Amino acid sequence: MASLLLESGFSLTEDPSAADIIVLNTCGFIAPAKEEAIRAILEAADRKPPGGACRFVVVAGCLAQRYPDEILEEFPEVDAVVGTRGYADIPWVIGCLSDAARKGGGVLPAADRIRHVPAGDSLAHLGAARRPSTPVYAYLKVSEGCSNRCAYCAIPGIRGDHVSRPMDDLIAEAVRLAGIGTRELVLVAQDTTRYGLDLSGRRLLPDLVRRLAAIPGILRIRLMYAYADGVDDALIDLFRTEPKLARYLDLPIQHASDPILGRMNRRDTRHSLEALLHRLRRDVPGIVLRTTVLVGFPGETEQDMDVLLSFLRAIRFDRLGCFVFSPEEGTPAAAMEPKVPESVAESRYHRVMALQQAISAASLRRRVGTVESVLIESVSDDGIFYLGRTSGEAPEIDPLLHVAATSEPLAAGQLVRVRWVDASDYDLTGVTVDDEPAESPDPPADPPRAADPGLPAADSVPAGME
Ligand code: SF4
């Protein structure tokens, strides 16, 4: 949307108090995301007269796609809602608002508020020449929508069925991004492993990654949001053979108890997940594994929780996110019984996070003394350290690591070798190593995964209110 508006002659400001028009791109797939979006709408509404000088507030994205009428009804300050298939029309929407306001003597008549939730092409906006607001890295959306039907998930209802972008379009976008300084491509989709199935009848992610890796300037490629049954031989082989592919995989498993996986309409079992994760660790030395789990799903028992916790304790994911089940209207799970009481679900969340905190901290501590390639992104607020990420840290969700330069100053986008000298629970600090080559992003060393004495035992994990 930003690049389309720029092309249409608008200028951008990141300061909402200086904006004539505020465009909010919202999330809306679970309750906390909806609440955050609503808070942002209220803040934007306050910036219209008499409190501020903003002329129009436009609400775009998933919340707009899901609840267009409710937004227009509940928030009279909102001038337009633009669904996820209307992104490409954002200059037209704002043009219409301006015309209507001009005719209304500077005030937009209520009847001219816009509800733009088209049913058209979900890929249309992805062809725009994007301007990433992020330094050094950029997301590359390889497909839109999802044809999996996890029982708790509202996303297929919002985004529609899975549609892959043509590979040539992705390559053209990546070449352009590399030309404006992007060094790391983060491949995203609702399910990246499904890329290509609708185009050719087979999974094309490995072919895509190899073509992206050949683009001059691209130093690192990262895969997010893989579905376990899409991690096949070809993809595992790619991790072993393509040096630019970060040895990092985000593989949301959601749960590990078979009855719950079945009720969630996931295609995995505890056994199939275990086999895949062990294979990844064996065949891709040093791979960093991230996952997401969902607790408090209807019918989840204490036994299911025990299975999940013991699975997490055995697999020792390097990184983990946990969600509490949110009953989303229009999804099968919203009507499932028995519900898990909110307080019980919350306490289960805390048990998972307490366990994971210890595992993640141990995983960081094991890296002290090793040397890894770090892509420099910025300078820390105190100006003392550079901030960067190895292939083991994804942008925005994993920590930025601290680097001290021992000789030459460093620049954003530079790949340097760093020896880690100190670790805290959430952070690593290291110094640059001059005598080691940094041309390619080497995988991190693969330290032994012996049981960590610092890990809470099953019975020492806080049990909260259960
Ligand atoms: S794979 Fe992800 S996006 Fe698709 S239905 Fe399941 S949870 Fe939702």
Domains in the chain: ranges and CATH: 2-116 (3.40.50.12160), 124-365 (3.80.30.20), 371-432 (2.40.50.140)
* Residues 402-430: tens digit of each pLDDT: 999 988 899 999 999 999 999 998 899 99
Tell which wins on pLDDT, 343 or 130: 343
Distance 378 CA to ligand 1 centre (A): 33
Residue 455 pLDDT level (bands cut at 50, 70, 90): very low
Strand blocks (E) in 122-270:
137-141, 143-144, 163-164, 184-188, 220-223, 245-250
**Position 466 pLDDT exceeds 70:** no
Q: By alpha-carbon position, which residue is closest to atom 1 of ligand 1?
A: 148
Residues 6+ apart with CB under 8 A from 280: 231, 236, 239, 249, 287, 289
Cβ–Cβ under 8 Å, residues 169 and 176: no
Tell which wins on pLDDT, 120 or 32: 32
Average pLDDT over residues 238-261: 98
Residue 436 pLDDT level (bands cut at 50, 70, 90): low
| Phi/psi at 170 (5° precision) | -65, -40
**pLDDT reported for residue 448:** 35
d(CA 32, CA 18): 28
**Position 459 pLDDT exceeds 60:** no
Q: By alpha-carbon position, which residue is closest to atom 3 of ligand 1?
A: 190
347 CB near ligand 1 (under 6 Å)? no
Nearest to 187 by CA among 220, 217, 160, 216: 220
**pLDDT reported for residue 435:** 63
Q: How far is CA 347 from CA 8, 194, 410, in A?
A: 50, 34, 44
**Position 62 pLDDT exceeds 80:** yes
Cβ–Cβ under 8 Å, residues 357 and 384: no
| Pocket probe mutation, ligand 1, options 146, 253, 268, max atoms within 8 Å of Cβ | 146
Tell which wins on pLDDT, 8 or 447: 8
Cβ-based neighbour number of residue 118 at 10 Å: 14
**Position 277 pLDDT exceeds 90:** yes
148 CB near ligand 1 (under 6 Å)? yes
Distance 145 CA to ligand 1 centre (A): 9
**pLDDT reported for residue 124:** 83
**pLDDT reported for residue 453:** 35
Residue 72 pLDDT level (bands cut at 50, 70, 90): very high
145 CB near ligand 1 (under 6 Å)? no
| Phi/psi at 343 (5° precision) | -65, -35
Residue 104 pLDDT level (bands cut at 50, 70, 90): confident
Residue 465 pLDDT level (bands cut at 50, 70, 90): very low
150 CB near ligand 1 (under 6 Å)? yes
**Position 5 pLDDT exceeds 80:** yes
**pLDDT reported for residue 92:** 96
State yes or no: cis peptide before 135, omega within 30 of 0.
no
Q: How far is CA 106 from CA 19, 55, 109, 216, in A?
A: 16, 9, 9, 50
Share of the chain above pLDDT 90, in %: 83
DSSP H/E element including 115: strand 114-116
268 CB near ligand 1 (under 6 Å)? no
Beta strands 386-389 and 371-379 are antiparallel
**Position 449 pLDDT exceeds 60:** no
**Position 127 pLDDT exceeds 60:** yes
> Percent helix, strand and coil across the chain, each rounded to 5?
35, 20, 45
Q: Tell me the pLDDT of the chain averaged across its residues.
A: 91
Distance 156 CA to ligand 1 centre (A): 7
What single-letter amino acid sits at 206? P
Residue 129 pLDDT level (bands cut at 50, 70, 90): confident
Distance 273 CA to ligand 1 centre (A): 17
**pLDDT reported for residue 177:** 95
Dihedral of the alpha carbons of 263, 266, 270, 271, in degrees to the nearest 10:
130
Residue 461 pLDDT level (bands cut at 50, 70, 90): very low
**pLDDT reported for residue 168:** 97
DSSP H/E element including 302: helix 302-315
Strand partners for 220: 184
